[in-house]
Amino acid sequence: MGAADDDLEFDPSPSPAEPEEIDPGPPVEDAEVEEGLELDFRKPGEPEEIDPGPPIEEPVRPMEILANAPPSPTGAQSYVQVPLADGEIADQPFAQAPSAVKGILHLDEDAAEEPMAIDRSLFPTDAEPFAHEEVAIAPGDIDGDEPLELESDPHDAKGTEAKGTDHGFSAFDREARGREPSPRRRVGASTPQLDAALADLATMAGIGGERGRAVIVRRLAQVLSPIGAAEALADLLVQALLRLPVSPADRAPIECALLEELSPALLVRACTVLARQSALEDGETWLDTVARIISSVAARQVRSLDSDAIDLVRALEEHGAGLIRRLEPELREWAQAGRYLRSTSDEARSAADSLDLAGASYEYAAELASLERAVRLLIATSRWPSLAPLVEKLDRHRDPTGAPFVERAQMATESLDRCFAGAAGTTHRAHDGDEGRGREPTVIEALLGALGADASPSRAGLAAVLAVAGERIVPGVLDTLERTNHPGIRRTALDVLRGQRSVARLAVLQRLRRSDQSPSGRRNLIDALASAGLAEDSPAIARDRQHQSDAVRRAVVEALVALGGAAAAPALVTALDDPSGRVRDRALALLGQLRSTDPVVLARIVKLLADDAPPDEASSAICESATALARIGNVPLRGRGNAEDLLLAALSRPRPAALRKLLGSRASAVWWRPDVRCALVSALGAIGTARSKQILERISRSDDDPGRTEALGALAQIAARAPQ
């Protein structure tokens, strides 16, 4: 102001006679004046012009700075408190922020009014070049030569990119625009640590390339990695990715690298939370970001199809329609299969029952589409217990009986054909001479590969799936049988062949004409013939009764009984003279199953049970003889009375004295072995009469008799047969 203005004083008290002169001061260039109001600063009757003093330099307005600023890295719709000339503060929006901005203040109904300090303990010392000092905005602090210091919004996680929504606008602005904000789900409050990290990262807008991405990933991983709750990780991860101070081109590699730093299991659960929340979300940017997160996590983790992954699939299928549209085709198909993806066979069986509810062909076709997607995924992940109920349901629907519409049987048949055709969705090294080249196996190859794996915890489910696969599986199953010596693989393969009896029988007979199999392969083929063959096929294995392997010879005697029944008795009697004790014992046991009273068989039993000093290795034969006699019954024996008398005599042999054992006598030693004693007592209980009760009661009262427990059961059997 000029010197004349310094003597002017303002007296607010009015004068009744003459008003004092009032110096209005310099004119305010930018003050807003109410329309129609005129201020008169002249003295009454004296139009003296007041010296305004030296000209006032018009300040540079903040909005002019912002209008000419370069684009913001985040492209945020932001607000700043702008001081007016009258001392008031107005909330003014700006479209873009300068690259030097260190934070963005979004004014919302629940936004913080005070700037939030940065916790520098979050960052290592090498982050100092990117740290910044907090500057609070106040009237008069804005200078056109200095960049604005603004604060990140601790609440708005996605206002930076939301298009066509009210998110990010202040309540005052909404009221001025004459409408209420659309109802939206709040993502969840961020943490001071995340806000501080994002504010710090905003200073790195000019850093590009691998270095910039690595620093961003490290900063965010420091904040997100310690989080142990899926709900918290879901909210904060989306906020972090939405507010990254990078260009869209740099966003994807940062997202992928950040997800690699977090716990895979926790990420899957966090994705499940986001999938359930997506039903309440209509923001395109939020949905796009979540879809990218789920796609990245699914590509790395969902193929395991553990319980967490299946929960994610089901959440997408039930709530994530908006997300599914944004997934890649393969992942979209995976998400749409959630209805039939279950963790256990019981859950899968309940899910498969929904097929029975389809009362029309178009409804059934829609269900089949989802089921086939689930089948492909379950095959690719070897989830046999969950897969078996689905294919078994389709197999039952091939029967037209009781179908609600005539097309169901044909549709189920075609669906099964599609399930077992094509690629399995997994990769393995091809065995056709392509060195080092992998190829995708067919479904049948994948099933056979699982069958031939030594360690398979779910063979029961696999056998059911293979059985439904039909005759196309038979050649591969026989190939596996010829190669394996694993008892679990052999049992599963034989169960499958039993379900394809006609095709399997012809294929096995053709292979048995060759003699180039290993002993275990030959034995397995003979077992397969026993499962699928007919009585007329017995001659095909007759020559193997002289095979050099005792395992093959034993398989022959078992197959002869399975094919011919009682007609195999002569061959079994011959096998009683086999050089292998395992073959002899098995033949004797099978003769007992046939209840053979052939004199040769009975004579062999008498010889074994009447021997007072059998060798130790004869214990197995004695046990088999006693078991055979129990099945044959209380038949008369030449020179020994009947079977009951023979068993009573064997049980009455005295316990061997310690002195006799020390001197090397083996008399009666075998008869007191636990396995022999129990076999004799059990046989007596099966065929004994009241005459046997006395010795059985004595054995049951003896604390040190190995057959005490069996004697109690034998007494109960005899009492049950006694006439009332």
Per-residue pLDDT reduced to its tens digit, 493-524? 999 999 899 999 999 999 999 988 999 999 99
Distance from C-alpha of 517 to C-alpha of 492, rounded to nearest angstrom: 20
Task: Look at residues 57, 90, 105 and tell me which one is the last residue of a structural domain.
Answer: 57
Specify if 48 maps to a domain. Answer: yes
**pLDDT on residue 645:** 93
CB-based burial, 7-44: b 16+ in 10 Å, e otherwise: eeeeeeeeeeeeeeeebeebeeeeeeeeeeeeeeeeee
User: How big is the chain, counted in residues?
Assistant: 724
For residue 170, is pLDDT > 70?
no
Specify if 4 maps to a domain. Answer: yes
- Residue 539 corresponds to which tokens in the numbers above? 């001659």
Average per-residue pLDDT for the chain: 74
Q: Quickly tell me which residue has 């010889």 as its tokens.
A: 607
- Residue 125 corresponds to which tokens in the numbers above? 């010392």
Note down the domain range covering 25.
1-57
Q: What is the mean pLDDT of residues 120-145?
A: 37
The sign one gets for the Cα dihedral 169, 170, 175, 180 is positive
Q: pTM score, two decimals?
A: 0.59
- Residue 83 corresponds to which tokens in the numbers above? 């001081």
**Least reliable range by pLDDT among 42-46, 184-188, 332-336, 542-546:** 184-188
Angle ∠(269,273,275) on CA atoms, nearest 5: 110
Question: How many Cα neighbours within 13 Å face the side chain of 697?
Answer: 7
Distance from C-alpha of 282 to C-alpha of 272, rounded to nearest angstrom: 18
**pLDDT on residue 24:** 57
Task: Look at residues 25, 41, 57 and tell me which one is the last residue of a structural domain.
Answer: 57
Specify if 635 maps to a domain. Answer: yes
CB 599 within 8 A of CB 569: no
Phi first, then psi: give them for residue 81, nearest 5 degrees: -80, 115
Beta bridge pairs of residue 94: 78
Specify if 11 maps to a domain. Answer: yes
Burial class (CB in 10 A: 0-12, 13-18, 19+), 687: buried
Specify if 404 maps to a domain. Answer: no
Phi first, then psi: give them for residue 78, nearest 5 degrees: -125, 170
Q: What is the mean pLDDT of residues 101-121?
A: 36
For residue 680, is pLDDT > 70?
yes
Q: What is the mean pLDDT of residues 708-719?
A: 93
List the end-to-end C-alpha distance of the chain, in Å, as a whole number: 134
Distance from C-alpha of 480 to C-alpha of 424, rounded to nearest angstrom: 19
For residue 42, is pLDDT > 70?
no
For residue 479, is pLDDT > 70?
yes
Specify if 299 maps to a domain. Answer: no
SS3 (DSSP) at 89? strand
**pLDDT on residue 281:** 79
Q: How confident is the model at residue 571 (pLDDT cuts 50, 70, 90)?
A: very high
Burial class (CB in 10 A: 0-12, 13-18, 19+), 88: exposed
**pLDDT on residue 134:** 37
Q: Name the more confident of 92 and 264.
A: 264
Q: How confident is the model at residue 148 (pLDDT cuts 50, 70, 90)?
A: very low
Q: How confident is the model at residue 436 (pLDDT cuts 50, 70, 90)?
A: very low
Q: What is the mean pLDDT of residues 602-627?
A: 88
**pLDDT on residue 297:** 86
Total domains in the fold of the chain:
2
Nearest to 604 by CA among 566, 572, 634: 572
pLDDT tens track for 263-308: 888 988 998 899 888 888 778 888 888 888 888 888 776 666 677 8
Specify if 67 maps to a domain. Answer: no
Specify if 367 maps to a domain. Answer: no
